[in-house]
Amino acid sequence: MRVALCGLLLWTLAWPDYRAALPGYRFEFPRDHGSHPDFKLEWWYFTGNLRNEAGRRFGYELTFFRTGLEDAVRTPSRWQARDLYPAHFAITDPEQERFVYYEKLNRTSPGVAGAAEGTLEVWNENWVARLEEGGVRLRASQDGSAVDLWLVPEKPPVIHGTDGVSQKGSLPGMASHYYSWSRLATSGELRLGGERWRVEGLSWMDHEFSTSALEEGQVGWDWFSLQLEGGEDLMLFQLRRKGGTVDPRSAATVVSVSGEGRHLSDSEFELEPAGYWTSPRSGGRYPVRWRIRIPGLGAELEVEPLMDDQELVTTSSTGVVYWEGAIRVTGRWRGGEAKGSGYLEMTGYGGERPAI
């Protein structure tokens, strides 16, 4: 449930020119890895926890957004913007307490940004995610920070929600089509501050497309992707409403070792903040530590960030302030000990800034 884009879109509910995400959608791959220009909003989210040979941990986030513009006019110019392509790229280096992030904002234009239909190929300047034979090539670099990774899916894509939709609001169409590659074996190179390392680890890919997802009164959300050492993965999100209540459309998916997804509704899990960090930049107070309880699975998980400050203030692309960072998981899972890593996203805590 990747969010950052809502800065551009939050106030609108219905888009006559675009398709709504309705139940009954049949996913098909690799077609649905590609772009869906008849939906207004789309993103490809890559996050991962990596280690170098010496066991030093890193986190990365590389996200490509596409957002269709209202009343876009078709003209012969290939620069005529029909979609905008924001993109975010971040690296977490907990050992040195470093967190760097970059952003881009472009439109579909020759050589600059775009996304293919029919297969996974999305790029923004020199940031690229491309499905190749046997895996996904991921590349991004800026100002001495770079990833050049090879991602091999260990499970098939898992579709979230029910009947092809992940419902986010009370009305039909307030939903998205949402699937994940919850476990991608990752290897490659990571650069930061002039140093470079060979790295390996696990990545997570989310691909979500919709036309109008959110509803008035929803102020933010907390989203978790967890990869447990036992081979199971877990996606959870809760939508927060004004006044601190939790929206009943909050949901989760448990992905089995073989890749089957099981939908959990909001009544089947509990989320509880366990520690806070206050951003010196935005002033936002983020619950960076959490306790997750899923009674049905005998799960009692503790989540803590690899470092506190993994906040992005994306003034020049989406205009959203959010926290997106690498986390580690401990606790109990199905009666045994739980250990794992993952990514946490929190929005609606810091002040939002206007786009551009």
Catalog residues that contact another protein under the rule CB under 8 A.
8, 69-73, 75-82, 84, 105-107, 109-112, 125-126, 141-144, 316, 354-356
Q: Please, which residue, 118 or 193, has the CB nearer to another protein?
A: 193
Distance of closest approach, residue 282 Cβ to another protein, in angstroms: 17
Distance of closest approach, residue 63 Cβ to another protein, in angstroms: 17
Alpha helices (runs of H) in the chain, residue ranges in sequence order: 6-9
The answer to whether the CB of 44 falls within 8 A of the CB of 180 is no
Q: Please, which residue, 127 or 178, has the CB nearer to another protein?
A: 127
The answer to whether the CB of 252 falls within 8 A of the CB of 238 is no
Q: Give the 3-state secondary structure of 87-142.
A: EEEEEEEHHHCEEEEEEEEEECECCCEEECCCCCEEEECCEEEEEECCEEEEEEEE
Token pair, residue 235, equals: 């996606």
Q: Please, which residue, 126 or 245, has the CB nearer to another protein?
A: 126
Q: Please, which residue, 109 or 187, has the CB nearer to another protein?
A: 109
Distance of closest approach, residue 14 Cβ to another protein, in angstroms: 17
Distance of closest approach, residue 172 Cβ to another protein, in angstroms: 27
Token pair, residue 287, equals: 């619950």
- The C-alpha angle 342, 344, 161, rounded to 5 degrees, equals 90
Q: Please, which residue, 102 or 349, has the CB nearer to another protein?
A: 102
Burial class (CB in 10 A: 0-12, 13-18, 19+), 89: buried
- How many helices and strands in the chain, by DSSP H and E? 1, 23
Question: Which of helix, strand or coil describes residue 296?
Answer: helix
Nearest-angstrom CA–CA distance, 126 and 46? 16
Q: Please, which residue, 257 or 356, has the CB nearer to another protein?
A: 356
Distance of closest approach, residue 105 Cβ to another protein, in angstroms: 5
Nearest-angstrom CA–CA distance, 151 and 227? 15
Number of neighbours of residue 117 by Cβ within 10 angstroms: 11
Distance of closest approach, residue 210 Cβ to another protein, in angstroms: 19
Distance of closest approach, residue 103 Cβ to another protein, in angstroms: 11
Q: Please, which residue, 119 or 142, has the CB nearer to another protein?
A: 142
* Amino acid (one-letter) located at 318: T
Token pair, residue 18, equals: 């675009």
Distance of closest approach, residue 107 Cβ to another protein, in angstroms: 6
Q: How far is CA 355 from CA 6, 7, 126, 235, 285, in A?
A: 11, 7, 22, 29, 22
Q: Please, which residue, 111 or 280, has the CB nearer to another protein?
A: 111
Nearest in space to 11 (alpha carbons), one of 215, 315, 176: 215
The answer to whether the CB of 243 falls within 8 A of the CB of 229 is no
Q: Please, which residue, 166 or 318, has the CB nearer to another protein?
A: 318
Distance of closest approach, residue 329 Cβ to another protein, in angstroms: 36
Nearest in space to 317 (alpha carbons), one of 271, 269, 354: 354
Q: Please, which residue, 49 or 314, has the CB nearer to another protein?
A: 314
Q: What is the CA radius of gyration of the chain?
A: 19
Distance of closest approach, residue 17 Cβ to another protein, in angstroms: 11
Place of tokens 């959870």: 236
